Amino acid sequence: MFALWYWYKRRTRYSFKPVILVTGCSSGIGQAIAETLYKYKSYRVVITARSNSVAKVKERFEEDDRFWVRPLDVTSDVERTKLITEIQQKWDGVNILINCAGISYRSVLEHMSEQDEHLQMETNYFGPVALMRAVLPKMREEGRGKIINVSSVSGMLAMPTMSSYTASKYALEGVSEALWYEVKPLGINVCLIQPGFVKSKSFENVYYTELSKTAEKAGGDEPYGDYYTNMTPFIARLMGLSITTPKSIAKLVLKVIRTENPPLWVPAT
């Protein structure tokens, strides 16, 4: 009965200009998604970046009554609540959420501190999950909506010096799959975009712990020295050889936005 009701609401004809919220738009895939959506006046769009990057983002995008740039640290409950409240007051809520914000540590497990582990998971998992919880009530009420989570090949396989990043992406994959089952009957789609190696310089933006920085400098004199010596050039080489770009992934995200019933898993490279 509920499935029939949500199907009816989705089929009801009325003027609909989706509200899209995109996180992590200061660089990389998030920036490419923002650039793609900026061209389409049929969407109302909110793009976000951490406060220290907002000025740079505003230089790239001119705000108007259908395209906003807002500060958002996805790990901050205060900032998440403030943003979602503003969108609800002005535009009645989010119709499409694109979780793109993320960080990656270059560190073997032994060199990760508890604080580092928390930041990795808060950024790549707990923050996105909190945003999903915040937008779901409105989507249920409308009987429609999309949650698009940008995952990674690291959500399917692991590599040395990326244990915590991999764990965060495995977690995002798992919660997205469970949510797909939970909300599909309510007219809500959940989709995982799964990039592998992308032709970009994103590998240069990784985080190092105090111990991993020391170990990398020590090189072969350190027990994990070979991993630190070889992983960065290995990843750089694979990214340099990739034919996939942030722009091509952004086009794929746009295709998912326009597809009524996209699949849960969407390989992006």
Q: How many CB atoms lie within 10 A of CB 2?
A: 11
Can you give the three-state secondary structure of 81-111, one letter per residue?
Answer: HHHHHHHHHHHCCCCEEEECCCCCECECHHH
* DSSP codes joined into one string, 127-138: HHHHHHHHHHHH
* Catalytic annotation, pick one of 125, 165, 227, 228: 165
Closest residue by Cα to residue 18 from 75, 66, 68, 61: 66
Closest residue by Cα to residue 109 from 218, 206, 209: 209
Residue 33 makes CB contacts below 8 A (sequence gap 6+) with 22, 25, 98, 100, 249, 250, 253
Asked if residue 250 lies in contact with residue 29, where contact means CB atoms within 8 angstroms, the answer is: yes
The two tokens of residue 75 are 């790990």
Residue 76 carries which side chain, given as an amino acid letter? Answer: S
Instruction: Measure CA of the first residue to CA of the last residue in the chain; give whole Å.
Output: 39
Which DSSP category does 8 fall into?
A: H
- The question of whether 228 is a catalytic residue gets the answer no
Apex 27 CA angle, 174 and 73, nearest 5:
60
Asked if residue 133 lies in contact with residue 79, where contact means CB atoms within 8 angstroms, the answer is: no
Name the residues annotated as catalytic.
165
